[in-house]
Amino acid sequence: MRIAVLDDEEICLDRALKVISRYSRASGFDWTVHGFSSGEDLLRRLKRENFDLLIIDWYLSGMSGYALLCWVQEHLEVPPPVIVLTGGSAEGDIVKAINAGAEDFIHKPFSEYELHARILVVNRRRIQAAEGQVRRFHVYFDLLFDDAGRTVTRDCSATLLTEREYYVARCLMENLGRSLSRSYLYDRFWPQGERYSSRPLDTMIYRLRSKLKLSSEHGWCLASIYGYGYRLERVDPL
């Protein structure tokens, strides 16, 4: 699970990041946590990357927690759950956050046990929702993805992919037209020890281009973005 934490108070942000990372390691969860000190920074990242959970401070200098929460609900096709951190005790703020789409809230200064428990609850709901909405087939223009068989079919011809190839390809399709950073893809699909040996991501992108014919001839462009990552786009076939 990828978690973004937003707080413009450096001490609070650093504490939240350390607590989440420590509990993740101790519990054996595959949680990757990213810290942001301004709403604007997190907004820029949300425009090109996905997170499974947002933990945002309600009172921020610059873009407010409320403004960011409204943007998430309005612009993201599948908004991630949001836990709001609030240093105030006004009931009106809590009601406003819940009405705007927040999943839960925590009062600051927070207990590390409470933070951990709230994350576990949200993660459990996320897993249950995913299990209740399982889809086997996914269609992206001329490509049919089959989750059960991990195959991709075009013109009645099926291509078998490895598990990691299949889900990286699905991720690219689901983020069509969006630039995905190398760090984002490594965080989602590679264990820590495998990430930077022998450039595994570059090798996989090369294989996907070849196996799925992601070329302009077939109406696709899987572009490398120098110093950043990759972007898959739909183009007019040559």
Spatial CB neighbours of 135, under 8 Å, sequence gap ≥ 6: 147
The predicted pLDDT at position 120 comes to 84
Which domains are present in the chain? 2-132 (3.40.50.2300), 137-234 (1.10.10.10)
Query: What is the structure's pLDDT at 161?
Result: 93
Q: Is the pLDDT of residue 197 over 60?
A: no
Which has more confidence, 42 or 107?
42
Q: Give the pair of three-digit tokens for residue 147.
A: 């989750």
What distance in Å separates the CA atoms of residue 21 and residue 138, rounded to the nearest whole number? 34
Mean pLDDT of 44-69: 92
Q: Report CA-CA distances (Å) from 134 to 81, 90, 128, 130, 138.
A: 19, 39, 10, 6, 11
Where does the pLDDT of residue 13 fall: very low under 50, low under 70, confident under 90, or very high at 90 and above?
Answer: very high
